[in-house]
Structure 1
Amino acid sequence: MIEASWIAVAFVMGLAARSIGLPPLVGYLGAGFTLAGLGAHLDIGPLDSLVLEHIAHLGVLLLMFTVGLKLKLGNLIRREVIGGGLLHFAISSLLLLPAILLILDLPWQQGALLAIALSFSSTVLAAKVLESKRELRAFHGRVAIGVLIIQDLIALVVMSLASGEVPSPWALLVFALPLLRPLLFRLLDASGHEELMVLLGLLMALAVGGYGFEYIGLSSELGALAFGAMLAKHKRAVELSNSLWSIKEIFLVGFFLQIGIGGLPGADALIFAAVMALVLPLKGLLFFALFLRFRLRARSAFLSSVSLTNYSEFGLIVTSVVLPQWTIPLAITLAVSFVISAPLNRHAHPLYEKLAKRLIPLERDTRHPDEQPVSLGNSQILIMGMGRTGRAAYDHLQEKGFEVVGLDSDPVVIEFSAKVGRRVLFADGEDQMLWQMLEMPAVEAVILALNDAETQIISTQKLRERGFRGLIVSHALYEDIAQRIQDAGADRTYLTMSEAGAGLAEHVARDLQPKT
């Protein structure tokens, strides 16, 4: 009966939050406070609280495992990610610490931990917002996610040090974990694409990584992250992450319910949250200034900063472990930051267009890591998106003697292409400045080999609006998407799977032709 009440209240409150444009997590936190207020009527006992605590812990472990699956060193070892993440953490913590000590009259150790918790930004909110806008692969999306992973790693270190647990001698075996990677890869290959793959993910995140690390005296969160990171380079890491996403979200509901059920917020908690809400814009401004310092363009710096202008559920996790008395005030602060950040992220692009004239002069007068091409020179064919489809098209056309150039928004793809001799430039198809400034005098055809349908449609529209009359060809997975791309102005749109099947049939027909 109690569990049914949890689910019902969480669903109603989550739906209410979503209906007014807020993340459902805000509703789940409100559901926890509602359940706390109704606690006397629902008779929530110690056993029920223990069950909810266990569910909440599983949600945190799955969150860390999925973060680990995205932990690719190529996206992390970048100046703007490491420098921006570490400097923001250090500066914001140092600025918040004296204010917290002065206003709240806390011991400096508690004040330092509280300042650290407030310096983090929300992985869950940023990932959801960027995914909903199809911007996880864009440059600014990768910068934001990279900074968040740096913050998550710092949070794990803080939790491990603050808990005071002494690892057992068996903890030294952690350094041998990379030797398990070939075995883990084989297990993931053998698990298929359905329930066995999900069970493998749960086994790695909860049993082997989570409770395995806990058994040897290390953080279970660190174990889940480590095993996710070991699978990050597997070609099916994204598929595994997607398959675990819904399960992780359900368990994380338990975490926010647990926080709310812990007690109703008092006046002090509400005042603290209001003060932290006033400080929140300074957090975004510091990110923006640091990203500009690391030579990002104003657009990338602005969009990345907006994604990071919030407080973190991971900071809340850190607080629940090392400062449990501050969990409720931090929970209210988190919810208020989500209320501010969600609409800000939703309108980030129009907001930047209004502020662009003021922000662009702030850019450093040097080459930016997200610099977009001004001219494509004498290239005859432009390929947007250099994944497997784009690379195959590039190599085939180059063999035919055409002058080909590729554009992609993934810095890692660009670096790899340069190593193998392909001419690939950085560009974001959704950036209006790209299409306004790009010179392509010799381009006769454009191939849209992008994975994101919205970017394909926007790119097609922008090409036609700027007066391009050449051939635009795209691929699509579904017929309705193919029709939308053609309605935007593409000359031809091919269904990817149909073309793959036709290609296989052509090979078979050629091999079966009678030899003369």
Structure 2
Amino acid sequence: MELELILVGTAYLAGLITSRLYFPPLVGYLIAGYVLHALGIHPDATLAHLADIGIQLLLFTVGLKLKLHSLLRREVLSVGGLHLLIVTAVSVGIFFALGGHLSGGLVLGISLAFSSTVLAIKVLEDNGELSTLYGRDVLSILILQDIVAIGLLAVTSGKQPTPWALGLLLLPLLRPVAYRFLNASRAAELKLLLGVSLALAGGMLAEKVSISSDIGALLMGVMLAGHPKTDELAAKLWGLKEAFLVAFFLQIGLTDLPGYDELIQALWLLAALPLQGLLFFTLFLLVGLRARTAFISSLALMTYSEFALITASAVVDAHWLPPVWEATIGLAVALSLAVAAPLNRVSHRLFALLAPFLTRFERQTNHPDRLPGSVGIAEWLIIGMGRTGLSAYQAFCQQDKRVLGLDADPTVLEALLAEGRRVIYGDAEDNALWESLPLNKIRGIILAVPDFELRALAITQLQLRQFQGHIGTVCLLDDEEAKLRALGADFVIHPFIEAGTQLAAQLLSSPAADKT
């Protein structure tokens, strides 16, 4: 218990300090790992096991939101595939020129082309951007990389997936059974236990057929995708997943403490990361994405993958590269995560500063992330077409008002368009969206996005453009209403308070209220 207390307590203190310095807590966890290693504390099998569970829970929750057809989109296959080929070719050339083993350079080169699944998903999820167009592109590219990683893992480990590995593709056939279990699990703790059980079961099945356990957990999540309660299940797993992931970040620092030479090599690898980001940005632009989408997606992918730690160890064991590379890669991965995490938190602000330069390189093509050129005859706009936004949309339609819905989630748009709703793509966090909208023709805007900062930003943008119409929004916490009104919101509704008020009013006005 003493070791566990030291690990958890140090992680907490380091995370608290870094969060006070406006860095994500995970940067503190990485630092805590190196500090503990310097103090002579080494990881045991328990920490590694907890880290594996954290990654499996993370990928299981990702699978809950994954649409398989998203992997077949042009930007995913072309950008993800070309990036892998180019980075691998350059890495092999450099290793060969330096006299390294060609096989080692090939394996390590492919590994260095991978981006950190843990960091990218965590940052997108924390920012509420996992379901946006660029969030889904990033997620799909990461999954494509994971698929390539399966083959690479087989090469480096000397093991190959068994013929039974194809049986994992049959997991969707168990969907009706899994749906029944989820429907029957009405208590919150039962949903939590079901989610953990399925994630671990997927990992165990994958290991039995010599496949990465992470892929098995992901596929198990995909099996449940589409169920109405998947969002609720993911929310139940969120806190547990976060706690287990602390072990993963601690483990990186605890693995080894590099020397001076390894530090210099790691810094060279870190310096090469902007080139990877530039390559991603260029490829995204070539497939027709806007500069904003390309920039934010590239920044999320501009890391080295924790998977490189696994392949580096295997390559060293095979005597394809000298042992110093194991510590070098570990430090390079840790540094890339530490640098990328704070940058991704301010990605939208960074783009706002660089927009005048970056937008020059956009291609004028039709793509889902294009800004709306017109809102037609609409006089009322609803930003965010979730349950609240859709209810507001239907209320406008019932009164024959000219209303248009905007949302950044392509799957939401696809479903609503199939129902005949008037909706278009629009990300409230995109400053260019507000510049493109004919605000002088709009009588009112409802902001129904769940994130408070996003609602506040949208109101600020409307005020900067001297919007004369009405602004209505929701507040989920008691202290939000005053802030939103101070920014310029005309109407602020607290959905939970409003629900109670309406329920009481209807009961009191019903004939049953007169009974004694």
TM-score under structure 1 length normalisation: 0.88
- Aligned equivalents of 1:65 and 1:490: distance in 2? 38
Question: Could you tell which deviates more after superposition, 276-285 or 497-506?
Answer: 497-506
**Which of the numbers 76, 79, 85 marks the counterpart of 1:84?**
79
Q: Match of 2:400, SS?
A: coil
Partner residue in 2 for 1:36? 37
Alignment of 1:87-486 (within 5 A): 87-103=82-98, 105-168=99-162, 170-192=164-186, 194-206=188-200, 208-320=201-313, 325=323, 326-486=325-485
Q: Match of 1:479, SS?
A: coil
Gaps of 5+ in 2: 318-322
1:180, distance to aligned residue in structure 2 (A): 1.2
1:382, distance to aligned residue in structure 2 (A): 1.3
1:280, distance to aligned residue in structure 2 (A): 0.9
Residue identity in the other structure for 1:100: F
Residue identity in the other structure for 1:3: E
1:412, distance to aligned residue in structure 2 (A): 1.9
Distance 1:70 1:314, change over 3 A: farther
Residue identity in the other structure for 1:342: A
Asked if 1 retains the 8 angstrom alpha-carbon contact of 2:252 and 2:334, the reply is: no
- Aligned equivalents of 1:368 and 1:217: distance in 2? 40
Are 1:68 and 2:63 an aligned pair?
yes
Q: Match of 1:366, SS?
A: coil
Partner residue in 1 for 2:49? 54
Partner residue in 1 for 2:320? none
Partner residue in 2 for 1:9? 10
Q: Match of 2:81, SS?
A: helix
Partner residue in 2 for 1:495? 494
- Aligned equivalents of 1:322 and 1:242: distance in 2? 39
- Aligned equivalents of 2:62 and 2:388: distance in 1? 27
Asked if 1 retains the 8 angstrom alpha-carbon contact of 2:55 and 2:118, the reply is: no
- Aligned equivalents of 1:457 and 1:346: distance in 2? 17
Asked if 2 retains the 8 angstrom alpha-carbon contact of 1:377 and 1:442, the reply is: no
1:460, distance to aligned residue in structure 2 (A): 2.2
Distance 1:443 1:259, change over 3 A: closer
Asked if 2 retains the 8 angstrom alpha-carbon contact of 1:378 and 1:441, the reply is: no
- Aligned equivalents of 2:155 and 2:508: distance in 1? 65
- CA deviations on 1:55-95 (whole Å, 9 max, x unpaired) are 33323322332332232235444322332222212221222
- CA deviations on 1:33-65 (whole Å, 9 max, x unpaired) are 4333433xx6x6xxx723333233323322332
Residue identity in the other structure for 1:382: L
Asked if 1 retains the 8 angstrom alpha-carbon contact of 2:64 and 2:222, the reply is: yes
Distance 1:26 1:508, change over 3 A: closer
1:229, distance to aligned residue in structure 2 (A): 1.6
Question: Could you tell which deviates more after superposition, 256-265 or 118-127?
Answer: 256-265
- Aligned equivalents of 1:461 and 1:233: distance in 2? 35
1:417, distance to aligned residue in structure 2 (A): 2.2
Provide the identity percentage. 44
1:181, distance to aligned residue in structure 2 (A): 0.9
Distance 1:18 1:482, change over 3 A: closer
- CA deviations on 1:380-401 (whole Å, 9 max, x unpaired) are 2211111122222222322321
Asked if 2 retains the 8 angstrom alpha-carbon contact of 1:386 and 1:413, the reply is: yes
Gaps of 5+ in 1: none
